[in-house]
Homo-oligomer: A and B are copies of this chain.
C-alpha cells in the first residue's frame, strides 16, 4: 500500500500542500471525521489538519494528592483537559507520557486529517521545515497560554484564555472578533483549572462588564477595544 511520494523541488507552500493532499488521498492517508468523532491518532506519527478544526485534550490518570490511599489505588480518571485547537493547515501530534494521554477529536463536522510518518517528509524537505516552523509557532502560543494560566485570579485566567483563542482563531463580526467554534463551560474550566459552575459565573461577570460578548449561536466574542486584539490589528 505504501510507496514513496514523488520528490518535489517546489517550495511554494500552496503547491506542496496540494501535492501532499493528493498523495495522501491516493495512499489512504486521508480521512474525514464528523463533529466529536475521535481521531485515532497515536504517538510517533504526524497529523495534518486539511480542513475543519481538531480539539486536543488530555486525559489524566491522576495521582490524587488529596487521598490517603496508596499510590496505585489513588490513580483515577480525571476529566479531560482542553489543550487547544489545531486549525486547518496546521500539524499536530500525540504525546504519550503516563499519566497523561493526549486525544484528538474533530471539533466540527467535515474535519479532514492527513497522517504521515516523519520519514515521509524526507521527500518534501521544504514542507518538513514548514511543519517544524508550525510546531515552533504552536510552542510560542503555548508559552502565552501558560502566561495567562499563571495568573492567580480565575477571572484573569478566563479572560486571558478567551482572548488568546480569539486572537489566534477569531473572525471579525459586528461585535469585534468571535471564536468560530463553540466551547462548553466545562471545556473552558478544564483548560484553566476551574469548574463549569465557576466559569459560568465568571463569564456572566465578564459579559456584564462588557469585556466579552455573545455572538450568534452561543459563540464568544471580544469587543474590538480589547487590548490584545488592538495589538493584533496594529500588526496586521
Q: Which of A3-11, A16-24, A224-232 is near enough to bind chain B?
A: A224-232
- Do residues B71 and A147 form an inter-chain contact, with CB atoms below 8 A? no
Q: Within 8 Å of chain B (Cβ to Cβ): is A165?
A: no
Contact residues in B for A150 (Cβ distance below 8 Å): 58, 60, 81-83, 190-193
Give the complex CA separation of A15 and B209 in angstroms: 58
Q: Are A148 and B98 in contact (CB under 8 A)?
A: no
Q: Which residues on B sit within 8 Å (CB–CB) of A98?
A: 227-228, 230-231
CB distance from A115 to the nearest CB of B (A): 17
Which of chain A's residues 151-182 have a Cβ closer than 8 Å to chain B? 151-160, 167
**Bound-state Cα–Cα, A211 to B211, Å:** 41
CB <8 Å contact, A95 and B193: no
Shortest distance between the CB of A201 and any CB in chain B (Å): 12
Distance between A142 CB and nearest chain B CB, rounded to angstroms: 4
Q: In the docked arrangement, what's the CA distance between A187 and B136, Å?
A: 25
Distance in angstroms between the alpha carbons of A75 and B154 in the assembled complex: 16
Interface bits A124-144 vs B (CB < 8 Å: 1, else 0)? 000011001101101110111
- Chain B residues, CB < 8 A from A32: none
Contact of A146 among B75, B78, B142, B202 (CB under 8 A): B142
Q: Flag if B158 contacts A65 (CB, 8 Å).
A: yes
Question: A105 in the interface, Cβ–Cβ < 8 Å?
Answer: no
Shortest Cβ gap from A136 to chain B (Å): 4
* Cβ–Cβ < 8 Å partners of A209 in chain B: 65, 68
CA–CA, A143 and B101, complex, Å: 10
Encode contact with B along A59-89: 1 for CB under 8 Å, 0 otherwise.
0111111101001000100110111100000
Chain B residues contacting A62 (CB-CB under 8 Å) are: 151, 156, 160
A-B residue pairs, 4 tightest by C-beta: A81-B150, A58-B147, A132-B132, A139-B139
